[in-house]
Structure formats: structure tokens, C-alpha cells
Amino acid sequence: MTKLSKSGHIEIPQGSISYRVYQETESANKTPIIFIHGGPGVPLYGMENDFQNIASERPVIFYDQLGCGESTIKSEFESDESLWHLERFVEEFAIVRESLNLNEVHLLGISFGAMILAEYMLTKPKGVKSIIFSSPVLSSKLWAEDAERLKKKLPETIYQTIIKHESENTTDSEEYKEATNEYYKRFLCKTFNFNEILEKFTKNPNFDVYLKMWGPSEFHPTGTLKDYDVTERLCEINAPTLFMCGRDDEATPETVQLYQGEIPGAKIAVLENSAHFTCLDAKEKYYQGITNFLNEHE
């Protein structure tokens, strides 16, 4: 089990942010890497053995975004809808980095976390040695278009069930949830089902935040992020960049390759036999790819 060397909380104006630092030994002192989780509202836990090769060389840092995991919201902000906008998450991340005194750092954003990473990089921060976009959502429009194509690969009865409930605004029905699980088996994670992911690899996920910011399912954006698109500004990012995705990812290889083409010199790795959770479906190649890229830019 990868060693947890430090944990704690960082105060932000709206609450308290939990963080964890994994580091095998004090001599594992290469530049740290921060993982920015996705969701929104779905923190990463339970993967300590998987990234052991990274933690043997450098500190690996996870934090729980406001409202999920072990992070807490101050009572006076609990009904504040302004919390659930991307700009605040970027500000939150900047505070986390500053509080941990990370003058030099590598950054990795997973899924929704890629939005936070992209917006943070557009602020032109200093000391970022490299960045990794892991199965990124960088355009809600392109994501929805890809999802429509992926949905059509489902059995016709399941596809029609999804369409029916989305058009009738009955996405809270059990029938809709069962149909979405068929989509998730193919394009979210091939190794574990959705309930297993929640049980084994998250802690206190917040689906109210997910619904407010994204929507009722992975493929139906209706929340505050539904019009997000940073594609045309990716060219402003000047750090060494790696894109990673699965062959059967919701973040399709075709769209991720489009993003790659917007950042000069960016690399891409498409992992076979893998869906959106590449860190679970292809974990050995996923973490080895990260290790190799970080060492190229140490």
C-alpha cells in the first residue's frame, strides 16, 4: 500500500478542503504531482496501490473539491448556488496549491478536472512543469455530440428509453437509470460497474453538485457547465502537455486528438481495452505513461 505521508485541511472562504499526500520515502522528492478529480462532486479514493510507481519518485497529492469527500462547506454557504460555477473551483485550486507551497508542480486533471486545469493554466501560473489532461471534457458541445453517437451503439430499446425520458424530463426514473447503466458499462468503465466504482473508489460523492453543474447523466449536460467550451483558447497553454484517453472513452479519441492539435507540441496516448475510467481499465499502462511523461519534464 502506498504510504500516506501527510493529510489535512485547507481553509477557503466557503469552507474547508481536505487533501492527502502520498510519498513512499523522504528521498522520493522529485517535483510533486496534483490530481484534480472529476465529477463534479466525485473524489478519488482507494487507488493507493495503483500509483505506487509514481509515489516512489515524488509526492502524489489528491484533494477533495468543496462539497464532496472530506471537504466541508460553511453553514452560511450551504444554499449558495454561486458555489457551483467553474470559476470558484479554479480559485479553490489556486488556494490549495499556494497553501501547500508547491512552487514547482506537475498537474493532472481527470474528466471535469480537465476543465479546472485548463482554466487554471489560462491564468498563466508560474512553476508548472507539465500538465496531463486525462479523459478530458473541454467542450460540453463536443462531449454531447460524441455521446449521441455512442448512445446509438446501444441496443435500440435502450437507446429509445434514454431518448424518451430525456424528452419527457423524467430522468429521475428507475428505467432511465437502468438504461444509463448500459451506457456506462461500455463507455464509462469496463472493469467495474457504476455502483462498484462508487463503493470502492470514491468517498462521499455529491450528486447534487453533479446535477447542478453537469446534469442527470454522463451524456445529458443541463447544468452550469452545459455551454462550456475552451477549445479555441487551448493554443494559449504553453506547458508540456499530454492527453490520455481510452479507446472506448466518452472522451472519444477523435475529440481528444482535436484538443491535442490545439496545443503546440502536445502528445496523446490512447489506451486500448479502456473506457472513461482509464485509471481502472488500463491502470498499469495509465500510471506508467504518467510516470514516463513526468520524468521527461522533470
> CA 148: distance to chain centroid?
21
Grid cell digits, residue 19: 487533501
Q: How far apart are CA 158 and CA 280, in angstroms?
A: 26
C-alpha cell at 5: 505521508
Identify the residue whose cell numbers are 507539465.
130
The answer to whether 93 and 118 have CB atoms below 8 angstroms apart is: no
Cβ atoms of 279 and 252 closer than 8 Å: no
Report the alpha-carbon distance of residue 175 to residue 165 in Å, rounded.
8
C-alpha cell recorded at residue 124? 498563466
DSSP 148-185: HHHHTTS-HHHHHHHHHHHHTT-TTSHHHHHHHHHHHH
Annotated catalytic sites, by residue?
A: 111, 249, 276
Residues in the chain: 298
Buried b (16+ CB within 10 A) or exposed e, 1-35: ebeebeeebbebebbbbbbbbbbbeeebebbbbbb
What's the rounded Cα separation, in Å, for the pair 58 and 104?
12
d(CA 3, CA 26): 11
